[in-house]
């Protein structure tokens, strides 16, 4: 091969200095960012947000911008969607799928969401509400199901009227399944509904939900907005 072909062009070196990503990597990451839904003022809470602290829920309902999501996090979510579709396909092919991704609503407080699947047990046709989750190799399986996943499942259980179900985990690292059988916990349901109602009152009165120092902040998608309001604006 001619020597000049082994030498990168100066323009390529400068481009890599200013943008170290490979162009293919950058193309994928830009695509994932463009797929993200823009914030908007909401009329309903979502079961998937049930774990948020009251102040974060306040920002969520009013359509505040979330903190920027890293490229790796966006990739993990995209890969999670692929695993989700894989499990749904198997549920359909095995004949145990009853329905999937149907909208459910609740009136007081207003909640709207789409459950993952309702399946039936072949031995007696009993129906179960299924929540699908993909995650990296959990350090301790005894910690499953996660509390935030339980909150989400319990709300869908309330809205669907199905009291028994499963939270189905698929390990992204080795494709191992962990299936947690669950049943509706009315204490979780009532605590979540109460939190939603309290937040809704703040929204209606156009008042900030007070800062929540006892909640974990490291993973919150509204951390920058929240801390700016509290430490700079004083609200």
Q: Where are the domains of the chain?
A: 47-66+76-207+220-233
116 in Cβ contact with 100 (< 8 Å): yes
Per-residue pLDDT band for 67 (boundaries 50, 70, 90) equals confident
For residues 67-96, give the mean pLDDT.
90
Model confidence at 192: pLDDT above 90: yes
Annotate 151-174 with b (16+ C-beta within 10 A) or e (fewer).
bbbbbbbbbbebeebbbbbbbbee
Reported as a single tens digit per residue, the pLDDT across 9-62 is: 455 555 555 667 888 888 887 887 777 777 789 999 999 999 999 999 999 999
Q: Which two tokens stand for residue 25?
A: 């990597």
CATH architecture of the region 47-66+76-207+220-233: Alpha-Beta Complex (3.90)
pTM of this structure: 0.84
Q: What is the pLDDT of residue 2?
A: 40
- How far apart CA 129 and CA 147 sit, in angstroms, is 17
Angle at 159 between CA 153 and CA 162, to 5 degrees: 70
Any idea which residue has 């198997």 for tokens? Answer: 90
Model confidence at 208: pLDDT above 90: yes
Q: What is the pLDDT of residue 195?
A: 98
User: E strand or H helix at 135, and its extent?
Assistant: strand 127-135
Q: β-pairing, 97-100 with 117-120?
A: antiparallel
**Of 187, 167, 185, nearest in space to 177 by CA:** 167
Reported as a single tens digit per residue, the pLDDT across 108-165 is: 999 999 999 999 999 999 999 999 999 887 667 778 999 999 999 999 999 999 999 9
Q: What is the pLDDT of residue 32?
A: 79
Q: What is the pLDDT of residue 17?
A: 59
Query: Which residues are paired to 168 by β-bridges?
Result: 132, 179
């Amino acid at each position: 091969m001619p020597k000049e072909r082994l030498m990168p062009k100066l323009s390529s070196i400068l481009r890599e200095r200013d943008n170290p990503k490979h162009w293919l990597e950058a193309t994928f990451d830009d695509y994932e960012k463009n797929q993200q839904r823009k914030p908007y003022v909401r009329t309903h809470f979502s079961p998937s947000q049930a774990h948020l602290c009251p102040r974060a829920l306040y920002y969520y309902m009013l359509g505040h911008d979330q903190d920027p999501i890293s490229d790796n996090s966006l990739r993990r979510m995209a890969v999670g969607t692929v695993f989700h579709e894989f499990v749904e396909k198997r549920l359909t092919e095995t004949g145990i799928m009853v329905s999937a991704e149907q909208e459910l609503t609740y009136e007081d407080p207003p909640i709207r969401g789409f459950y993952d699947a309702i399946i039936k047990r072949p031995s007696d046709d009993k129906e179960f509400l299924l929540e699908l989750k993909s995650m990296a190799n959990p350090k301790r399986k005894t910690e499953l199901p996660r509390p935030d996943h339980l909150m989400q499942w319990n709300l869908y259980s309330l809205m669907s009227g199905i009291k028994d179900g499963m939270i189905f985990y698929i390990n992204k690292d080795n494709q191992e399944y962990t299936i947690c059988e669950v049943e509706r916990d009315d204490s979780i349901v009532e605590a979540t509904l109460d939190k939603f109602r309290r937040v809704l009152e703040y929204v209606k009165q156009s008042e900030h939900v007070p800062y929540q120092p006892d909640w974990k902040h490291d993973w919150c998608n509204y951390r920058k907005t929240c801390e700016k309001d509290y430490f700079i604006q004083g609200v």
